Structure 1
């Protein structure tokens, strides 16, 4: 009984809900979902993977397809703006009492996703910029699981950190390293599931598919509101 309680506490929270595994799994699922949505529904642009956008932008520009190449530039700038604004929100509202600043970020993301669902195909550039901005807010605001740095909207850093933790476990047999590696693996799986479901749902529901991501973010908002530590 005691072990089951400690495991449940480990999964749900550590210092506060924003570092809890379960909340960040939902965010990672939503991150993968958004990436698949923008790529399939919104002109093959990545919401989160700015590395992919830079590769595609550079490829098209060097091929002389300027209009197509510059299409990727605006989401990149939007992502940068999101990181900047999120950082300043944290600095200004870190001690806010009525609502935790991270809850405010999740609420803003939810509103953005709801609006994007109404944007027609003729304005895909606007939709992509809004989602990239939202993703930047999230990745800048939710950086840790159980004290370990991770990203909820991309996988490369999680892959590196997970493999590093597993390698360390093989050398030291420190159980904390294998737990850390497991956390990273679960987050990557959640992201992949979100991408797969988001991609297939996008074919069926089109622009409004993104509203499912809004529902996930509302769940996160409520979870954080129930946690007295937030």
Structure 2
């Protein structure tokens, strides 16, 4: 039998808060929410799923639809730029005392989401690029759950890792593998919930829907800040 207290502790307790399942479930929900928002509100462009953008861009370009194809190119460049900038921020401010570098990243994401909510439909490309940039910042900054690699802004790697962990559990009956699989399943499920709710909210509230993601990110910031003030400066 699986001890419920162990599951609860696994969700909430972690020596490094940025690796905790609880924090990363919030980020995964926000990631799914953002993807649904840009697809529905911002002219069917993905914020996180750059593979989808690459496929759509290539398809349209091969069909001779240059303008449609280029619409997907700009978010790709923005995503790459976000990874590059996040790496610079980490290298320069990794040992900062006043504010942890991951908190700085989250604050930047919040600012981007707030601005995007004010952008009209006639500049959807700019809005999509800004969110893709923010998603890349998040993807780079939060890469592990319980020291296992994961992604808060996409699912395919998490699905592969979760399935592999469950297969390992079936062979070994080691509960560590089962808990590992649980982490990945929880992240994928939460991402899907974020996408579903984000899609419905986007149809109801339009451009300002993205502010919901800003609120979620602010909650994440507060969790990290409380943990930092409690004495964990290594997150």
Compared CA separation, residues 218 and 225, structure 1 to 2 (3 A)? same
> What pairs up with 1:2-41 in 2 under 5 angstroms?
7-41=7-41
CA distance in 2, matches of 1:50, 1:6: 36
- The 5 Å alignment of 1:136-147 reads 136-147=136-147
CA contact (8 A) 1:161 1:184 kept: yes
Equivalent position SS for 1:72 = helix
Partner of 1:53: 53
Q: Residue 97 and residue 5 in structure 1: after superposition, are their counterparts in 2 closer, same or farther (change >3 A)?
A: farther
Q: What secondary structure is seen at the aligned counterpart in 2 of 1:47? A: coil
Aligned counterpart, 2:165: 165
Point out 4+ residue stretches in structure 1 off by more than 6 angstroms. none
Query: Which residue does 1:114 correspond to in 2?
Result: 114
Distance 1:63 1:13 in 2: 52
**Deviation of the 1:6 alpha carbon:** 5.4
Q: How many residues align?
A: 228
Q: Displacement, 1:46?
A: 0.1
- Residue equivalent to 1:213: 213
TM-score by length of 1: 0.97
Q: C-alpha displacement at 1:133, in angstroms? A: 0.1
Match of residue 129 from structure 1 = 129
Normalising by structure 2, report the TM-score. 0.95
- Root-mean-square deviation (CA, aligned residues, Å) is 1.1
Report 1:126-205 matches (<5 A).
Answer: 126-205=126-205
Q: Separation in 2 of the partners of 1:34 and 1:4?
A: 32
- How far apart are residue 88 of structure 1 and its match? 1.2
Unaligned runs of 5+ in 2: none
1:68-87 correspondence runs (5 A): 68-87=68-87
Q: What's the CA shift for 1:223?
A: 0.3
Q: How far 1:8 sits from its partner (Å)? A: 3.8
Deviations for 1:29-77, whole angstroms, at most 9, x for unmatched residues?
0000000000000000000000000000000000000000000000000
Give the Cα separation in 2 of the matches to 1:5 and 1:106. 30
Residue 119 of structure 1 deviates from its aligned partner by 0.3
Cα pair 1:13 1:19 within 8 Å, conserved:
no
Query: Over residues 144-189 of structure 1, what are the superposed CA-to-partner deviations in whole Å (9 max), with x where a residue is unaligned?
Result: 0000000000000000000000111111111110000011000000
**Deviation for aligned residue 1:4:** 6.8
| Worse-superposed segment, 85-94 or 59-68 | 85-94
Note closer, same or farther for the CA distance 1:119–1:88 as it changes in structure 2 (3 Å cut): same
